[in-house]
Amino acid sequence: MSEQLIPLGKRAEASRPAPVIAPDAPRVYMETYGCQMNVADSDLIGSVLATAGYAMTERADQADVMLINTCAVREKAEDRVIARASELGALKKKRPGAVLAIVGCMAEHLKEGLAERAPAVDVIAGPDSYRRIAEMLAAARTAQAGPTKRQIDVRLDKEETYDGLSGAAGGDGVSGFVTIQRGCDKFCTFCVVPFTRGRERGAPPREVLRQVRELAEAGYREVTLLGQTVNSYRWPDGNDGEVTFAELLRAVAKIEGIERIRFTSPYPVDFTADVIAAIAEEPKVCKYVHLPVQSGSDVVLERMRRGYTVQDYRDIVAALRAAMPQISLSTDILSGFSGETDDDHQQTLALMRELRFDSAFMFSYSERDLTFAAKKLPDDVTPAIKARRLTDIVDLQTKISGEVFAAHVGRNERVLVTGPSKRDPAQLVGRSDGFKSVILPAGVGSVGEIVEVTIKRSSMATLFATE
């Protein structure tokens, strides 16, 4: 998973009319750390709070509520949140009655112990507590300072899928998220997700389609279906059968107004032929797959309990490329896991050279308590070796990505315009079908529009439709 900081309300606001805000509405400043699931949860929280009469602000120093939505996948992410909570806690002191909330995976992971590491926090809510977030904030805002002010709800709920709610009011107006599955049953030895998000459960197909229609009616052009292992989605159909992920993809593709469909993250074990066929045959489903491999060594994969071999993974990639020769592939690579030898590391590099991913999220292993690895497997690769191996992986992927992106020069690409470029607000930026950022020439396209352009040049991470 990638680690990023996304203040809510800074994603293509110009594409949507500003909501009518009561002059005395309490204001919320929100930051999001983590993956797209966290972003979707922030959109959901934003919708819940908007319904409760809150308004969003982009300035923490003007907020009545400062809320951090967190990730617990790596220790580094938690350390960043603790440091940020300290900064926001200092701001809170300057605003009498203001509250600080930490929600999400880290809140679930650390539970009550979070208050010791971040004493300024007033609300601690896990990923299954968002229906109560407005109630918890209200209680904290009206309580007196001290222990009674702090509100904590970190209970996991095996039934909670947030049926009836959505994040349309909190998104960017162009690309929306619909969570079709929560939790995870895979229990990879290194992963804390089953302990922070609970066991796997899917949302009913009717609920998924309702949320997608709501996004379409709100003017969204793209939807991403989310799940920890999204392609393992199954839902009983009431006739001793089940709705599969492939069938759900095809049903979403029939909804008018939505022009692009993405999903993340699939799990290799559940990547079946019917899913590949749905991606290949449905024009709206983007020809892009993020397929985590983690390691190129069978020994390491077995120690991780990933459930597939390197050859199994090769076969999936081969099937995808046979059905869609131009498909874009990205992956996750975890370096320095317990017992990883230099030969294991070299096998990972060899697989990268062979499969040539468009891009990758690359990390060194950091032990997470609660996991099997933390309890039973030694963290025996030294920090120096982890750093060296990660550098090897990053350097190789940088070279491969540069070559893959350069191969797009001269091609025509259909680009969904998402907003102004960060480097030059006079230019717009968008995403290709293959999930690559494309900088557009001045005057070409508008936010939310799909335009066809010719790629003139490239970098290792960006395509340019300009000279």
Q: What is the pLDDT of residues 315-328, one digit of tens each?
A: 999 999 999 999 99
pLDDT at 7 over 70: no
The angle at the Cα of 58, spanning 226 to 182, to the nearest 5 degrees, equals 15
Task: Return the pLDDT at 144.
Answer: 61
DSSP letter at 269?
G
Task: Return the pLDDT at 146.
Answer: 57
Task: Return the pLDDT at 72.
Answer: 83
The angle at the Cα of 393, spanning 387 to 397, to the nearest 5 degrees, equals 145
* Residue 203, C-beta contacts closer than 8 angstroms, at least 6 positions apart: 161, 162, 163, 179, 180, 181, 182, 235
Task: Return the pLDDT at 165.
Answer: 87
- pTM, entire model: 0.90
* Residue 39, C-beta contacts closer than 8 angstroms, at least 6 positions apart: 6, 32, 177
pLDDT at 16 over 80: no
- Burial class, 218, CB count within 10 angstroms (exposed 0-12 / middle 13-18 / buried 19+): middle
Q: Decide which of 3.40.50.12160, 3.10.620.30, 2.60.120.10, 1.10.10.10 is the CATH code for 13-153.
A: 3.40.50.12160
* Residue 62, C-beta contacts closer than 8 angstroms, at least 6 positions apart: 27, 29
> Mind listing the pLDDT tens digit for each residue in 144-178?
655 567 999 999 998 898 998 887 766 678 999 99
| Residue length of the chain | 467
Domain ranges of the chain: 13-153, 158-286, 412-464
> Mind listing the pLDDT tens digit for each residue in 331-373?
999 999 999 999 999 999 999 999 999 999 999 999 999 999 9
Q: Tell me the C-alpha distance between 188 and 373, whole Å.
A: 9
Kindly indicate the confidence band of residue 420, based on its pLDDT and cuts at 50, 70 and 90. very high
Report DSSP letters for 32-53, one per residue: EBSSHHHHHHHHHHHHHHHHTT
Task: Return the pLDDT at 167.
Answer: 78
Tokens coding 99: 């509250």
In 146-271, which ranges are E strands? 151-153, 175-179, 181-182, 201-202, 222-226, 234-236, 242-244, 260-264
Domain 158-286, CATH class in plain words: alpha beta
